[in-house]
């Protein structure tokens, strides 16, 4: 079944469109957390960041920059958050790749992303090593054209 965003792409359900090109579409979020809250999606349906073909990801990212510049010119926010959720645990509710562009004004409290905490330096070093090795392993697997595991 097509995602709700695919239905917007096909015109089966309405959206307040801001910009589109061959690969991407930008429209206003139906439940905005701030004035001008916009979503940029890939026109093709890909569940999340992991599934995005690099060229499509590049095209969507170009549109994110274009729309962010447009929002800045139109609304003069004090700042802009770019947020992209992957997985239900990270807050993703629509499993079709999308990027939130959220204009921000001083003191609006529209988004509270994280609370910094103290970290153990040895643990940070071990984490950096572990993640770096995983990236290198994935690169060599991909270079050999081997199938990716579901968790890759």
Active-site positions read 98
Query: Taking CB under 6 A as the rule, does residue 89 contact ligand AMP?
Result: no
Query: Taking CB under 6 A as the rule, does residue 49 contact ligand AMP?
Result: no
Instruction: Tell me the helices (H) and strands (E) count for the chain, helix number first.
Output: 3, 5
> Looking at 3, 4, 57, 72, which residue binds ligand AMP (CB under 6 A)?
4
CA distance 14 to 11: 6
Q: How far is the CB of 34 from ligand AMP (least distance, A)?
A: 11
Q: How far is the CB of 93 from ligand AMP (least distance, A)?
A: 4
Strand-pair category, 38-42 with 17-20:
unpaired
Asked if residue 68 lies in contact with residue 81, where contact means CB atoms within 8 angstroms, the answer is no
Q: 110 or 141: whose CB is closer to ligand AMP?
A: 110
CA distance 42 to 68: 16
Query: Taking CB under 6 A as the rule, does residue 94 contact ligand AMP?
Result: yes
CA distance 25 to 66: 11
> Looking at 76, 93, 130, 151, which residue binds ligand AMP (CB under 6 A)?
93
Q: 94 or 134: whose CB is closer to ligand AMP?
A: 94
Q: Which two tokens stand for residue 88?
A: 């239900």
Q: 5 or 59: whose CB is closer to ligand AMP?
A: 5
């Amino acid at each position: 079944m097509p995602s709700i965003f695919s239905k917007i792409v096909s015109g089966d359900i309405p959206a307040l469109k801001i910009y589109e090109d061959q690969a991407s579409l930008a429209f206003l979020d139906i439940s905005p957390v701030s004035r001008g809250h916009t979503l940029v999606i890939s026109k093709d349906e890909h569940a999340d960041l992991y599934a995005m073909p690099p060229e499509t990801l590049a095209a969507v990212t170009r549109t994110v920059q274009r729309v962010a510049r447009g929002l800045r010119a139109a609304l003069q926010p004090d700042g802009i958050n770019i947020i992209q959720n992957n997985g239900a645990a990270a807050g993703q509710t629509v499993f079709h790749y999308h990027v939130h562009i959220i204009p921000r004004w001083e003191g609006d409290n529209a988004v509270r992303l994280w609370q910094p905490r103290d970290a153990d330096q040895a643990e940070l070093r071990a984490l950096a090593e572990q993640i770096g090795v995983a990236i290198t392993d994935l690169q060599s697997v991909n270079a050999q054209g081997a199938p990716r595991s579901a968790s890759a």
